[in-house]
Amino acid sequence: MRVSHHYILLQHTATPELYSEFVKLGGVAAYVQLLSHENNDIVGQVTELLRDMTDDDAVEEQVDDVKPLITALMDNNAPELLMQRLAGLDESQEEEEGAVGNIISLFGNMVEVDADVAAVLGEQTKVWCVCDAILYVVSLL
C-alpha cells in the first residue's frame, strides 16, 4: 500500500455506513492479509486505519454500521494475527511503537462495539500478552 492511498482511506473512516460494502468487497480480508506483511510500516498503517475505523468517533451513533466490520475482522482471524505482530514489534522504534498502541486500541474498540468479542478475543489470543502490552504502554506514560 502506498502512503498516499493510506491517507485517502483514512478520510473514509468517517463513513461507517459504507463499512458493510467495504466488507463485501473484501477490504477487511485484504487488510488482514497485510498484517502479515514483512514491512512494519505497512503493518502500522493498517493498524492505524483499523483503529480509526472502529474508534469512538466513527462508532458513536452508528454501531450497527460498524458491527459488520468487527465480525469480518473476527472471521478473518485478525486478533490472532494482531497478537503475533504485537509480540514481534520493537517499541523502541517510533513506527512500531505506534502500531503497538493501535493494536491495543483496536482490541478495546472492538469490545466497545460488541461486548461478545471479549470472550472470543480471550479464546483466540493470549490475554496475558495483551495485559502485559497494556501495562508496558501505561508505564511509558
Q: What is the pLDDT along the chain (141 residues), one digit of tens a residue?
A: 444 555 556 666 678 888 898 899 898 999 999 999 988 888 888 999 999 999 887 677 788 899 999 999 999 999 989 988 888 888 888 778 889 999 999 999 998 888 888 887 777 655 556 666 666 666 665
- Give the pLDDT confidence score for residue 102 in this predicted structure: 93
87 within 8 A of 93, measured Cβ to Cβ: no
- Give the pLDDT confidence score for residue 29 in this predicted structure: 94
Number of structural domains found in the chain: 1
- Give the pLDDT confidence score for residue 114 in this predicted structure: 86
Q: What SS3 state is found at 98?
A: helix
The set of residues, in sequence order, having a beta carbon less than 8 Å from that of 91 and lying 6+ positions away, is 97, 100, 136, 140
For residue 34, the tally of other CB atoms under 10 A from its CB is 17
Nearest to 36 by CA among 75, 77, 90, 92: 77
Domain of 87, in residue numbers = 3-140
